[in-house]
Amino acid sequence: MQKLGLSNYFCNLFRYNPEEDKDSIMKIGLLGLPLAGKTTFFNLLTGAGVATATYAGERDSHTGVAKVPDERIDFLSGLYKPQKTTQARIDIIDIPGLGQGGAAEFAGPMQDADALVIITRGFTNDALGVCDQPQPAADLQDVLTELIITDLNVVERRLERLSKNKKAGKEIPGEQEALEKALQALENEQTVIGQEYTAQQRLALNNYGLYTDKPMLAVLNTSEEGLRTKEAPGQAELEEYAYRHHMPLLTVCAPLEEEISELPEEERGLFLEDLGLKKSGVARLAQAAYAHLDLISYFTVGSDEVRAWTIKRGTTAREAAGKIHSDIERGFIRAEVVSYKDMVQERTVPKLREKGLLRLEGKDYIVQDGDIMAFRFNV
């Protein structure tokens, strides 16, 4: 029997293969109209320092990694002083401005995304010739319409093919009904994700990676003044529009916040506070995305590594173990679990054990946000 972590005084015996969890990292696609500030926002999230556009015409997408800030992981790291601390990651894909080619032009990078973040322009910039009064709600609607049209094409084509396949007896259960429901929504200018489906229909739809079947968040990229006053031009309309479409809305001033993110860590807080912001841009996006996608974190701790893992709320202990390695999921015996708040209170394993706060849980235990977990398994 092997153990991962906790009861062995947090010594992680198991070396997982980082290659294996590549697919399980959340991917977020940034999109919007040209010159909305997508690449600037991408730089803010990833620190990648990609050159921003001086003209609308860039056709390459970029991929980078945003590390998800979490004060809990900072605390655990302080406690265990591990050789390595690994925050949760989000892969960010910066997609060029939607232009004449429409959304279909970026099918590759967008299809991969687990969620889409639509950036809207809330600033004017004379040097760039971006002088029109911002209309972020109209811009958001333009992007949504673009996505709806692209999905509509896919769904229509698929339904045509399906009638041929049907004759050949190659039907996926639930597919026809799911696509018809999606078609109806799209024809009414609604998103695919906004409809209700049976489990079977949902499964069938998942194969398509339709754009409007992805969770979406909206970002208003405004000026410094807009950020301070919370009354940027068009902000009220955008708030209303996003609310009606069940999209969380984040307000940023991407270039200014990017500058702040380059300052020494101890200075950043003051500057953010001065702008009326409690957290960095990446922290605000991560918080909104986790809530909207119903994601939570659990932690593994040890002298070698303290690490955050991202899972869907409702995940069982056994499935959560599979995030680390499929062997641990397969050979799962038990999980040793400590709640984060108990760890903050007691701080050592003997104390937790003494108070009965080190729990043994079986495979069907539903992992809670902030759980510190170690797995016993047999392979």
Ligand X SMILES: Nc1nc2c(ncn2[C@@H]2O[C@H](COP(=O)(O)OP(=O)(O)OP(=O)(O)O)[C@@H](O)[C@H]2O)c(=O)[nH]1
* Nearest-approach distance from CB 30 to Mg ion, in angstroms: 9
CB 106 within 8 A of CB 147: no
Question: Which stretch in 31-39, 78-86, 131-139, 320-328 sits in contact with ligand X by CB under 6 A?
Answer: 31-39
* Nearest-approach distance from CB 232 to Mg ion, in angstroms: 21
38 binds ligand X (CB under 6 A): yes
52 binds ligand X (CB under 6 A): yes
Nearer to ligand X, 76 or 137 (CB): 137
Nearer to ligand X, 281 or 370 (CB): 281
Burial group, residue 227, by CB count within 10 angstroms (0-12, 13-18, 19+): buried
Question: Which stretch in 51-59, 100-108, 135-143, 240-248 sits in contact with Mg ion by CB under 5 A?
Answer: 51-59
61 binds ligand X (CB under 6 A): no
223 binds ligand X (CB under 6 A): yes
Residues of this chain, 234-273, that bind ligand X according to CB under 6 A = 253-255
Nearer to ligand X, 257 or 327 (CB): 257
* Residue 137 binds which entry of Mg ion, ligand X, none, CB below 5-8 Å type-dependent: none
Site map for ligand X, 90-129, x if CB under 6 A?
------xx-------------------------x-x--x-
Nearer to ligand X, 52 or 310 (CB): 52
How many residues sit close enough to ligand X to count as binding (CB under 6 A)? 22
Residue length, the chain?
379
233 binds ligand X (CB under 6 A): no
Nearer to ligand X, 204 or 250 (CB): 250
* Nearest-approach distance from CB 131 to ligand X, in angstroms: 11
* Residue 128 binds which entry of Mg ion, ligand X, none, CB below 5-8 Å type-dependent: ligand X
* Nearest-approach distance from CB 218 to ligand X, in angstroms: 14
> Other CB atoms closer than 10 Å to residue 345's CB: what's the count?
12
* Residue 37 binds which entry of Mg ion, ligand X, none, CB below 5-8 Å type-dependent: ligand X
226 half-sphere exposure, CB direction, 13 A CA radius: 22
Sheet with strand 115-122: strands edge to edge: 62-67, 89-94, 26-32, 115-122, 216-222, 249-252
> Distance between CA 137 and CA 160 in Å, rounded?
34
Site map for Mg ion, 27-46, x if CB under 5 A?
-----------xx-------
Residue ranges that bind ligand X, judged by CB under 6 A: 32, 34-40, 52-53, 56, 58, 96-97, 123, 125, 128, 221, 223, 253-255
